Amino acid sequence: MLKPRLTYTRKERLKNKTVISNLFSNGQSYSLYPIRVVYTTNPDAKSDAPIQFALSVSKKKFKKAVDRNRVRRLIREAWRLEKETIIQTLPENAPPIALMIIFTGKEIPDFKTIKKSVGRIGSRGWVVGDA
């Protein structure tokens, strides 16, 4: 069996401002310390990716851009490695999902902690569609 390509492509990035504002106004959320996950269905997705993903790190908690960028890189790498297992937890014929990860920790985490939290994203189940 072929291994899936572990990539994070441009199609998978969530950049549309209207989708992001809809995500925060109508989305479901839960916390998996040190991250908070906010997601909603994205039926108007112009991309064929099953999940479009964005992330945020607070400027209030990390004053230096170097630290914020470090946390972003850790989360992106964990997402890249865990993406396939998360996509497999989606229900059959689920509409595309817009997902944002917000880092809520106060210190720069180690990669193991981030990977564990990101890997548990699909474990809570997905509330998608008209539910």
End-to-end CA separation in angstroms for the chain? 36
What the block records as the tokens of 7 is 């990539």
Tell me if 131 is assigned to some domain.
no
Least confident of 19-23, 71-75, 93-97: 93-97
Tell me if 103 is assigned to some domain.
yes
Residue 55 CB coordination number (10 Å): 18
Domain ranges, residue 15 = 11-121
> 73: domain CATH number?
3.30.230.10
Average pLDDT, whole number, for the chain?
91
Tell me if 130 is assigned to some domain.
no
Which of residues 7 and 62 earns the better pLDDT score?
Answer: 62
Tell me if 43 is assigned to some domain.
yes
Tell me if 5 is assigned to some domain.
no
116 strand-pairing partners: none
Q: Who's near 4: CB < 8 A, 6+ residues apart?
A: 84
**Dihedral sign, Cα of residue 100, residue 20, residue 29, residue 35:** positive
What is the pLDDT at residue 129? 60
**Is residue 131 predicted with pLDDT exceeding 50?**
no
Reported as a pLDDT band with limits 50, 70 and 90, residue 1 is: low
Count the domains in the chain: 1
